[in-house]
């Protein structure tokens, strides 16, 4: 197994997924593709952690799921952001910005 290029920071996976879903409903595979594409292949989402995270977020009520068909006429489980999820996303985005800002400041200072 390839060593992942980049271990996602604890908690960032949820942020990335929520952000991805903010564009519209998507299935699990689509989410991995999207994150990989947008991060220019830099971030790679492990399937092994994506699905537990999706189901957990579903339990938390941030996202909801339903069965749908892909453009290639395949059955897939589509996830959609709920209003609670939207709130959560806003919060996590803020947190992330604060975190990166803080880290950047530390780096600049040192």
Partner 1 sequence: MSFISRLQGLLRRERLDRELDEELRSHLEMRAADNLAAGMSPEAARIDAQRRFGNTTLFKQDTRAMDIIGWLDECARDFRYALRMLQRSPGFTAVAVLTLALGIGANTAIFSVIEAVFLRQLPYKNPSKLVVFTDAEEPQSGGLLYKDFQACKSQSRSFESIAAYYRDTGFSRVTVAASGEPESVQGAFVSADFFPTLGVSPLFGRTFNSEEELREENVVILSNGLWLRRFAGSPEALGKNLQIDGIESKIIGVMPATFQFPNKDQQFWAPITTNRYWRDPALTTKIDPRNTRFFFGRWQAVGRLKEEVRFQQARTEIDTVFARIAESDPDKNRGPVALVPVAVNLGANARLALFILLGAVVFVLLIACSNIANLVLARGASRNREMAVRTALGARRIRLTQQLFTESVLLALLSGCLGLVLASIGVHVLIAFGPPDIPRLDEARVDGRVLAFTLGVSFFAAIIFGLLPAWKTSQSDPNESLKSGGRGASGSPVLRRTRNLLVVTEFALAIVLLTGAGLLVRSFLAVQAVELGFQPERLLTMRITMPAGVPDTRRMAVHDQVLQRVAALPDVKAVGAISRLFELGETRNLGLRAIEGRFPEPAERWTPLTWTSISGGYLQAMGTFLLRGRYFSEQDGPDSPLVALIDERMAQRYWPGEDPLGKRFKGQDPRGRNDDWLTVIGVVQDMRRNGLERQPLPHIFEWYKQSGGVPFDLVVSTSGNPRMVASTLRSMVRGLDQDAILSPVTTMEQQLSDQLSPRRFQTSLLGLFSVMALLLASVGIYALMHYSVSQRTHELGVRIALGAQRRDVMRLVMREGGQLALAGVGIGVAAALAITRLMSSLLFGVDVTDPVTFGSVAVLLIAVAFLACYIPAQKAMRVDPMVALRYE
Smaller CB distance to partner 1: residue 70 or 100? 70
71-100 residues in contact with partner 1 (CB under 8 A) are: 72, 74-77
Sole binder of partner 1 in the list 3, 41, 48, 108 (CB under 8 A): 48
Selection from 17, 8, 13 nearest residue 85 by Cα: 17
Site string for partner 1, 23-42 (x = CB under 8 A): ----xxx---x---------
Between CA 8 and CA 73 the distance in angstroms is 32
Between CA 86 and CA 62 the distance in angstroms is 7
Instruction: Confirm if 61 and 82 have CB atoms less than 8 A apart.
Output: yes
The contact set with partner 1 (CB under 8 A) reads 1, 27-29, 33, 46-48, 51-56, 58-60, 70, 72, 74-77
């Amino acid at each position: 197994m390839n060593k992942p290029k980049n271990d996602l920071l604890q908690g960032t996976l949820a942020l990335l997924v929520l952000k991805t879903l903010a564009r519209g409903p998507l299935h699990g595979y689509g989410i991995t593709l999207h994150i990989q594409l947008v991060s220019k292949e830099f971030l790679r989402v492990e399937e092994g952690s994506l699905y537990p995270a999706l189901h957990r977020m579903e339990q938390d009520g941030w996202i909801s799921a339903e069965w749908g068909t892909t453009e290639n006429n395949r059955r897939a489980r589509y996830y959609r952001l709920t209003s609670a999820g939207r709130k959560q996303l806003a919060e996590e985005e803020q947190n992330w910005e604060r975190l990166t800002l803080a880290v950047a400041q530390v780096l600049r200072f040192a």
